[in-house]
Structure 1
Amino acid sequence: MSSFFRLPEKRSCAEEDSAKENEPAAKKKCRSYVWKHFSQLEGNSAKCLLCSQVYKTGGNTTNLINHLKRSHPTTITTPKSEQTLGSFLNVATTKGDALGSTRKAKLDEALMKMVATDLQPFRVVEDTGFRNFVRCLDPQYVLPSRTTLSSVLLENLYGEMKRKLNVMLENVSHCAITTDGWTSRANDHYLTVTCHFVTDTFQIKSAVLSTNKLLCETNQNSENIAESLRAILVDWNLFHKVTSIVTDNASSMIKACTLLEKRHLPCFAHTLNLIVQDALISESVKDVLSKCKRIVGFFKSSSNAYAKLKTAQTNNECYGLVQEVATRWNSCHKMIVRILKIRDAVSRVLLETMKAPPPLTAEEISVLTDLEYILGPFDEATNRVSGSTYETISLIIPVSADLHHRLSSMDNLIKTTEGFEVRNALLNGINRRLFEYEGRSVTKVATMLDPRFKKEAFRSASNADSAVEAIRKEMAGMTNLKVSEPPTHTENNAYFSFMQSKIANKIKTPMSDAIIVLRQYLEANHATPNISPLDYWKVQDIRMESLKKIALKNLCVPACSTESERTFSRAGCIVTDRRAALKAKNVDKLVFTSKNQWLSEI
């Protein structure tokens, strides 16, 4: 055989062993720095030593490194063995590293606040237009994933805001809550609870505590509501601090407060709306209101008619029409006001349009004019007592008396029989539904301790006297009551020395001290109407300390459950058709962070 095809010579075992011994030793593989923060588990998985999260490794450390970058950016360090030429030249190897972990964390937090405040879905970080916009602002910023937004950034923001609110509530002696239930677009029933309290700087604050499903999702009875409320209040350590619970007039809510042994206050705005709705079902005005609703519905359903309506308005401003919704407060009054404002344009378009409803007659216009005037005070009263940044509980009694007085003084201004019938029905509703607030403890005490009103806001003198007596008894039960006394002289004076022992042995009782302090307050001049009651009590000295405590205890109670209603509106914008699959826990956190943005400023 030719030498060209000669096979290689076979080496002996001894020769092979000698060759292996002469080969250089294989370089030991360097262990990644991530294992300083992870412990290796069975089945190709690892557990984070910082937050106990478990991740699959898949034969590499990519998942582990990404977790550290997302959740623990300050722990990331690059060993010398893993440094590259770029890091040697102080040039970051990735966009996130170039941005810096501190700035990246701030931008991530700002992004999460934007999502919560502007009610954006988590998937906004995947939208092409938004990603291009962020890239133009800062090419080095790497957007977090939607999973990071929901599971990490939202959790961090919620935890920080909840911690701040907990610290504030720990220093509060008394608070009040409002609560109501609502159903989302995904047909899930939620219970929202808001808290109202006075801060150490004498400011009214409102905060959403929870927006969660009931403990038993298949039952909405009073027992289930009561236990769900108890669990929320115990979780926030507020159960013993709650003085009143404000809800609508639903029987299940009233019974739930009874089961919790907490004072219930019916929402004043709901009560006003019930009075108006009862008056407007009168046969004398039902037809004209139904006609107004048909006219508004016609323009709402026809784009051509709506365009003609805008063109027919001769002034510079173009107004649309407002439809009445029974569950929306004062919507009937708003519908009437808008129709009367542009009635000439409405009539012109209706007469010129085929198949349009007939326009309003002169008699019907007169009825609507009376209704606008009669319902106006109710609209003003609802807006006045629905605030959340000032004291409203002390307004209930004077507002009720003012409504009765204004309606009773309209005899010379009402022109139609229908107007008189509605006015009388409203007066009956006020007598039946509103005047009972004078007998409730929290409303009469709060009104008496409002320096703008005192006894003069009450229609009944007996109710005013009972409020004074309730305050006096509560003051007498306080052990730290302070009363102003004349200064005593310690100098030795032989004159009138027989009186010294009598003065020293004079018996003082808590009730007598309470009478003196309360009399000083009631006989003082009334505060001006534009002063805040909390500002008044803030500057009072030690002599009024007992009254101040009682005032703060009662003035924190809201007159209405409107804060829960506002939360429903915000939650409805969060749980949209685009976000109907949101988990209940994320709904709660998003509502909390969205409604309590003022906490982030602390």
Structure 2
Amino acid sequence: MLSIYTVLSVQNFVIAKVMGKPKNLIWKFYNTIKRGSKVKVQCLFYAKEYVTHVDRMVNHLLSQCSSCPTTVKETIMQHQTAKPGSTQDIASTSSNEISVNLCEEEESDKMSVSSASAASYQSSIKGFIDRMTPQLKLHLDQSFARAVYASNMSFHIVENPYVKEFFEKLRPVYSLPSRKLLSGRFLDEEADEIKKKVHGILHEAAFVSIVSDGWSNMRNEGIINFMVTTPNPIFYSFQNATDHRHTATYIAEQFKNVIHEIGSEKVMSIVTDNAANMKAAWHIIKEELPHIQCYGCSAHTLQLFVQDLENFTTVSAHTSSVNKIVTFFKNKQVPAAIFK
């Protein structure tokens, strides 16, 4: 007695034979070349010749051809991922894979159909297709953006042809995010994520200390930065002070803003350099928040001590001799090479 699987397989095979084998979409991207009795195909994008084997032709465009446009790859993948059991899949299956001995018993029929299905799956193009969900694409874009930000790389890296070629060979289905996304949406999202982490750490900390210093950035703009130690140091914020003089009153106001944002009950101390305006700002802060202790930076104190030490005649003379020796070997090629 024949099984239902056998009947359906034979029925599908007959339908495919009657309708004829539909031509695969892949042929649109190849030129047919006849050389005598032999027929070959040539890739439109890479001029590579292949024998007329659909699986190899598809694999070349999806995995090997670096010149194949992304839109073409997506079109091929959508065409190849038809649902199992469709007329297209049946028509593309060879007769040997679905041949069944109609005289055998039901168990034998099931085994034959199972073997034919396995052979059909192994020879199908699905093994060569790389799928990517929108969620995975977004996750990879964000991970790449984070690597760019952490390495201080230029956003133009996504337009570098060698970088694009590397990712196309690594995973053809993945395309790098645009420079606009890196400098806009992803950067804003990463900044918001960092802020959330910082606020989470500060929320869990029982007590903190604020460390600050004034300096100029690459554009010679005045900056006052604020670090928070828990005791691990965390960058909290900065204040663009280009339009303001670094007076004691102004500095004290900026400190108090940060203190109240974090919570004055958590802030136990403030550390700055030993400049006169900073020391004056300490007194202004302590008038309003007397529980906060103010300290000068020990590293800055050591620096000031060394500068005073250099003013002694014996030390300055020795330093001058050392500078001359160092300058000589830095500017002379042969003596520098001997020391190396």
TM-score range (shorter-chain normalised) is: 0.5 to 0.7
* Cα 1:130/1:286, change in 2 over 3 Å: same
Q: Which residue number in structure 2 is paired with residue 591 of structure 1?
A: none
Q: Name the amino acid aligned to 1:180.
A: D
- The SS at the match of 2:265 is helix
1:228 alignment partner, one of 231, 234, 254: 254
Amino acid in the other structure paired with 2:321: K
Amino acid of the structure 1 residue aligned with 2:317:
D
Q: CA deviation at 1:190?
A: 1.5
Q: Contact (CA 8 Å) 2:329, 2:335: kept in 1 or not?
A: no
Number of positions where the alignment pairs a residue of Structure 1 with one of Structure 2: 215
The CA distance in 1 between the partners of 2:162 and 2:219, in whole Å, is 28
Unaligned runs of 5+ in 2: 1-74, 83-129, 287-291
TM-superposed deviation, 1:129: 3.0
Distance 1:307 1:147, change over 3 A: farther
Q: Counterpart of 1:270 in structure 2: which amino acid?
A: H
Partner of 2:235: 208
CA distance in 1, matches of 2:264, 2:235: 15
Query: SS state of the match for residue 153, structure 2?
Result: coil
Q: What is the match of residue 212 of structure 2?
A: 179
Q: Unpaired segments of 5 or more residues in structure 1?
A: 1-83, 92-96, 198-203, 319-602
Q: Does 1:243 align with 2:268?
A: yes
SS for the counterpart of 2:224 is: strand
2:18 matched residue in structure 1: none
Aligned counterpart, 2:244: 218
Alpha carbons 2:309, 2:315 under 8 Å: kept: no
Letter in 2 for 1:238: G
Q: What CA distance in whole angstroms lies between the structure 2 residues aligned with 1:158 and 1:297?
A: 44
* Structure 1 partner of 2:146: 113
Equivalent of residue 276 in structure 1, options 300, 303, 306:
306
The 10-residue stretch of structure 1 (289-298 or 240-249) with the greater mean CA deviation from structure 2: 289-298
What is the distance in 1 between the residues matched to 2:255 and 2:307? 30
The CA distance in 2 between the partners of 1:212 and 1:148, in whole Å, is: 26
Q: Secondary structure at the match of 1:164?
A: helix
> Per-residue deviation at 1:85?
8.8
Equivalent of residue 258 in structure 1, options 271, 283, 287: 283
The 1:177–1:157 alpha-carbon spacing in structure 2 relative to 1, beyond 3 Å, is same
Instruction: Look up the SS of the partner of 1:178 in the other structure.
Output: strand
Q: Give the superposition deviation at 1:88.
A: 6.3
Q: Cα gap change, 1:244/1:306 in structure 2, threshold over 3 Å: closer, same or farther?
A: farther
- Distance in 2, matches of 1:131 and 1:85, equals 21
**Residue 308 (str. 1) matches residue 299 (str. 2):** no
| Alpha carbons 2:211, 2:272 under 8 Å: kept | yes
The alpha-carbon distance between structure 1 residues 206 and 285, as it changes in their structure 2 partners (threshold 3 A), is closer
Alignment of 1:518-529 (within 5 A): none
Identity %: 28
Partner of 2:227: 194
Instruction: Quote the Cα distance in structure 2 between the aligned partners of 1:190 and 1:137.
Output: 43
Aligned-pair CA distance for 1:206: 1.7
Could you tell me how far apart the structure 2 residues matched to 1:230 and 1:122 are? 36
Query: Structure 1's 211 and 281: CA in aligned 2 closer, same or farther, altered over 3 A?
Result: same
Structure 1 pair 181–296 and aligned structure 2 pair: CA distance change class (3 A)? same
- Distance, in Å, in 2 between the alignment partners of 1:101 and 1:146 is 19
Contact 2:248 2:277 in 1 (8 A): yes
**Letter matched to residue 206 of structure 1:** P
The aligned counterpart of 2:176 is: 143
Distance 1:120 1:239, change over 3 A: farther
Q: 1:239 to 1:131 in 2, by over 3 A?
A: farther
Residues 1:112 and 1:307: Cα distance change in structure 2 (over 3 Å) = farther
Taking the aligned partners of 2:166 and 2:283, their CA distance within structure 1 comes to 54
Q: Which residue of 1 aligns with 2:17?
A: none
CA distance in 2, matches of 1:298, 1:263: 48
Within 2, Cα distance between the matches of 1:116 and 1:174? Answer: 30
Q: Is the 8 A contact 2:251 2:281 kept in 1?
A: yes
Q: Displacement, 1:306?
A: 3.6
Q: Is contact 2:251-2:278 (8 Å) kept?
A: yes
For the 8 Å contact 2:252–2:281, the answer to whether it is kept is yes
What is the CA–CA distance in structure 2 between the aligned matches of 1:144 and 1:128, rounded to whole Å?
A: 14
Instruction: For 1:328-339, list aligned pairs within 5 A.
Output: none
* Matched AA of 2:256: R
| Cα separation, 2, equivalents of 1:224 and 1:248 | 16
Residue in structure 1 matching 2:326, options 271, 296, 308? 296
1:311-331, CA deviations, whole angstroms, 9 ceiling, x for partnerless residues?
2x4xxxx3xxxxxxxxxxxxx
Aligned partner letter, 2:245: N
Distance 1:289 1:206, change over 3 A: same
Write the mapping of 1:390-539 to structure 2, written as runs, cut at 5 A.
none
Task: Letter of the 1:246 partner, please give it.
Answer: V
SS in 2 for 1:99: coil
Cα distance in 1 for residues equivalent to 2:305 and 2:221: 31
CA contact (8 A) 2:273 2:300 kept: yes
Q: Please report the RMSD computed on the Cα atoms of aligned residues, expressed in angstroms.
A: 2.6
Which digits, 9 at most, give the CA deviation of each residue in 1:121-155, with x for residues without a partner? 22222233333333332222211122211221121
Distance 1:234 1:290 in 2: 49
Distance 2:284 2:246 in 1: 15
The Cα of 1:89 is off from its aligned counterpart by 4.7
1:141/1:232 CA distance change after superposition, 3 Å: farther
Structure 1 residues 280, 207: closer, same or farther in 2, change over 3 A? same
Look up the equivalent residue of 2:280 and give its one-letter code.
K
User: More strand by proportion, 1 or 2?
Assistant: 2
Partners of 2:207 and 2:248 in 1: CA distance: 24
| Displacement of 1:219 | 2.1
**CA offsets, 1:255-294, max 9 Å, x none?**
2232222421011121122222212221122122112112
User: What is the CA distance between 1:180 and its match in structure 2?
Assistant: 0.4
Partners of 2:225 and 2:247 lie apart in 1 by 16
Deviation of 1:179 after TM superposition, in Å, equals 0.5
Distance 1:111 1:85, change over 3 A: closer
* Structure 1 counterpart of 2:270, one-letter code: I
Distance in structure 2 (CA, Å) of the matches to 1:285 and 1:166? 48
Assess if the C-alpha contact under 8 Å between 2:222 and 2:240 holds in 1. Answer: yes
TM-score (norm 2): 0.57
Q: Deviations for 1:225-249, whole angstroms, at most 9, x for unmatched residues?
A: 22223333434x3333211111110
- Code of the residue aligned with 1:285 in structure 2: it is V
